[in-house]
Structure 1
Amino acid sequence: MEDILNIAQLVVAIALIIVILVQNKGAGLGGVFGGDGNTYSTKRGFEKNLHTITIVLAALFLGLALANFFI
């Protein structure tokens, strides 16, 4: 059971890294710390899907890490 969780966590981690690297470079937290406020726009299409996939993969990674910790 632990081996399955470890392999699943590894696969999710690699997928999460890939999805994060594919995202736009200007979409980070730069605007929070005094970046250009005129570049803000609503996420649409592919960018919105990447954002959603990133959140799902991060939640899945966290869930697998907790499951791995308690088992």
Structure 2
Amino acid sequence: MQAWAPALRVIQIILSVAVILFILLQARSAGLGSIFGGTSAGSVFKTRRGVERLIFNLTVIFVVLFALVSVVMMLLPA
């Protein structure tokens, strides 16, 4: 199992960068259109659609994968 340790480290680094990027792509309490100069006219609650929903779902998936890889690395013998 020790042979997998370097590969798991690389996977964990890639996942961490991806999670950071996906989180930064999400605009807080605004739609994706507000990033490019649009306005969110007072809408506090709205459903995610299109690219926003995809980015949100990918963020959740990558966070879960990151957590699983972290747990597996923790369980590996030193």
TM-score by length of 1: 0.81
Counting matched residue pairs gives 62
Higher relative contact order (Cα pairs below 8 Å, separated by 6+ residues): 1
Matching residue of 1:62: 67
Deviations 1:11-67 (A, max 9, x none): 00000000000111226xxxxxxxxxx510011000000110000000000000001
Structure with the higher helix share, 1 or 2: 1
**How far apart in 2 are the matches of 1:21 and 1:15?**
10
- Choose which of 11, 16, 19 in structure 1 pairs with 2:14: 11
Greater Cα radius of gyration, structure 1 or 2: 2
Unmatched tracts of structure 1, length 5 or more: 28-37
Q: Distance in 1 between matches of 2:47 and 2:25?
A: 18
Can you give the 5+ residue segments of structure 2 that lack an aligned partner in the other structure? Answer: 31-42
CA RMSD of aligned residues (A): 1.5
TM-score normalized with structure 2 length: 0.74
Identity among equivalent positions (%) equals 25
